[in-house]
Amino acid sequence: MRRAEQLLDAAEELVALCGVEAVGMNAVARHAGVSPGTLYQYFPHKRALVDGLSQRFAERLAEAGPTLDGVLRSVLVLAESRPALLPLLCGTGPAGEPNALFECLATRLSLAPDEGELATRFLVQGVAAALRRDDPVARDAVLARTRAAILGACPVAGRGDTS
């Protein structure tokens, strides 16, 4: 399992730098300091590698508070420390459908599939915009507007929020 984590770490670093689509299996192997054959023993194809990264982030996001504010803050904090999160959230599955990480976040918002997808897209874009702000007050303002956009589009997303 330590080798698999090493490979996921290398993939995460490359995804943060280049995006999901630009990262190839050979580049990940090179970055991890292993042969491509070793990488393929753990992850038989790129989709499996991306799914492994998505699962890693999904486990961390599962710890988010049950409210919209809790999810927003959790995604922001995780995206600050793990820059590969947003490119992974923006990626799609094999047939263009939302990927497993995106669906995990939509589920975390406790919404129906269509509403969850819309709310999650607002959330991802809002967090990306907030991360571009150095000033904490400006960052909070972006998150407040993001929250308002989510609630405007999907009022049930605020269920359980007290703020």
Q: Which range marks the domain in which residue 115 is found?
A: 2-158
How far apart, in whole angstroms, are the C-alpha atoms of residue 20 and residue 76?
A: 19
Q: Is residue 111 part of a domain?
A: yes
Give exposure, 72-98, as e/b (b: 16+ Cβ within 10 Å).
bebbbebbeebebbbbbbbbeeeeeeb
Question: Within a domain: residue 163?
Answer: no
User: Percentage of the chain surpassing pLDDT 90?
Assistant: 45
Q: Give the C-alpha separation, 131 to 77, whole Å.
A: 10
DSSP, collapsed to helix, strand or coil, labels residue 80 as helix
Q: How confident is the model at residue 162 (pLDDT cuts 50, 70, 90)?
A: very low
Is the pLDDT assigned to residue 14 strictly greater than 90?
yes
**pLDDT at residue 112 greater than cutoff 70:** no
Q: Nearest-CA neighbor of 89 among 77, 80, 100, 97?
A: 100
Domain tally for the chain?
1
Inside any domain, residue 84: yes
Higher pLDDT pick, 57 / 159: 57
- Residue 77 has φ and ψ, to the nearest 5°, of -65, -45
Count of Cβ atoms closer than 10 Å to residue 141 Cβ? 13
**pTM exceeds 0.75:** yes
- Tell me the mean pLDDT in the region 51-79: 85
Residue 142 lies in a domain: yes
Q: What is the pLDDT of residue 163?
A: 46
Q: What is the mean pLDDT of the chain?
A: 85
Residue 158 CA to residue 148 CA, distance in Å, equals 10
Position 81 in a domain: yes
Q: Identify the CATH number of the domain in which residue 125 sits.
A: 1.10.357.10
The arithmetic mean of pLDDT across residues 83-111, rounded, is 76
Pair 62, 108: CB distance under 8 Å: yes
The whole-number pLDDT of residue 127 equals 93
pLDDT 10s digits, 28-61? 999 999 999 999 999 999 989 998 998 888 888 8
pLDDT of 45 reads 94
Check whether 160 has a pLDDT greater than 60: no
- Report if residue 49 sits inside a domain: yes
Predicted local distance difference test score (pLDDT) of residue 94: 60
Residue 117 lies in a domain: yes
Q: Please indicate, yes or no, if residue 94 is contained in any of the structural domains.
A: yes
Question: Poorest-confidence range of 37-41, 99-103, 150-154?
Answer: 99-103
